[in-house]
């Protein structure tokens, strides 16, 4: 199961899926353009989707700018430091 497929709350499933459809491809392209491999871009995007879900009711009404900022930050961090160990622990326990 991909994190982008998981709704943060059943009542918000439709909104979540529309948000993923609207932004997922662009985020992945931005991560690859920043220099990440396709696999690293996918891992980075999954981490960003997880963080958005964790925001819950504090998530921005228009998440696009927040997502763009996060993909820039996380791509840079991945290139400097390697994969986020918290993300790897989450992926391994899934």
Domain range summary for the chain, segments of one domain joined by +? 3-93
H or E element: which one contains 47? helix 38-55
At residue 9, does pLDDT exceed 70?
no
Query: What residues contact residue 73 under an 8 Å CB cut-off, 6+ apart?
Result: none
Other C-beta atoms lying within 10 Å of the C-beta of residue 12: 15
d(C-alpha 16, C-alpha 1), whole Å: 15
Give CA–CA dist 34/32, Å, rounded.
Answer: 5
Cα 48 → chain centroid: 2
Over residues 10-66, the pLDDT tens digits come to 557 888 899 999 999 999 999 999 999 999 999 999 999 999 999 988 989 899 999
């Amino acid at each position: 199961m991909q994190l982008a497929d998981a709704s943060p709350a059943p009542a918000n499933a439709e909104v979540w899926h529309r948000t993923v459809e609207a932004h997922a491809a662009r985020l992945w392209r931005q991560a690859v353009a920043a220099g990440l491999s396709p696999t690293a871009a996918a891992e980075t995007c999954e981490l960003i989707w997880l963080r958005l879900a964790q925001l819950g009711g504090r998530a921005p009404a228009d998440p696009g700018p927040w997502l763009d900022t996060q993909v820039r930050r996380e791509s840079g961090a991945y290139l400097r430091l390697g994969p986020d160990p918290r993300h790897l622990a989450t992926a391994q326990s899934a």
